[in-house]
């Protein structure tokens, strides 16, 4: 059994025991969160009914908070003397899927 869940602006394919890295979630380490399911596949049967999915619970545990790799951004305009350097590190959270309960 696996599910497609929405985490922030992304969609992830998860099964019980999987770890996913997603954008930062405001939750303490070790706390449980619920992810909204968009699709559930169980024994070859695909569930995409809104009423069933609204009752479906995909539970995950917060494993760690971290930051992604540094991305260097450079802006340059020729013949004007304009140069600009920026950097960015994305805040990330690692989640472990603990349970998928399909609502009927």
- The two tokens of residue 76 are 């340059």
- pLDDT beyond 80 at 104: no
Maximum Cα interatomic distance, the chain, rounded to a whole number of Å: 66
From 59, 64, 56, select the one nearest 22 (Cα to Cα). Answer: 64
- Tokens 């930062």 found at: 24
In tens, the pLDDT along 3-45 reads 999 998 899 999 999 999 999 999 999 999 999 999 999 888 8
53-70: pLDDT as tens digits: 999 999 999 999 999 999
Tell me the pTM: 0.84
Sign of CA dihedral 68, 24, 4, 99: positive
The three-class DSSP label of residue 78 is coil
pLDDT score of 69: 97
C-alpha closest to that of 58 among 42, 73, 44: 42
What are the extents of the domains in the chain?
2-101
Express each pLDDT in 68-91 by its tens digit. Answer: 999 999 999 999 999 999 999 999
């Amino acid at each position: 059994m696996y599910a497609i869940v929405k985490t922030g602006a992304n969609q992830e394919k998860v099964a019980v025991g999987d770890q996913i890295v997603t954008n930062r979630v405001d939750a303490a380490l070790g706390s449980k969160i619920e992810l909204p399911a968009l699709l559930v596949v169980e024994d070859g049967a695909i569930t995409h009914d809104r009423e069933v999915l609204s009752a479906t619970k995909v539970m995950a545990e917060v494993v760690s908070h971290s930051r992604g790799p540094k991305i260097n951004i450079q802006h340059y305009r020729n013949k004007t003397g304009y140069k600009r350097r920026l950097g960015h590190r994305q805040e990330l959270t690692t989640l472990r899927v603990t349970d998928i309960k399909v609502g009927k």
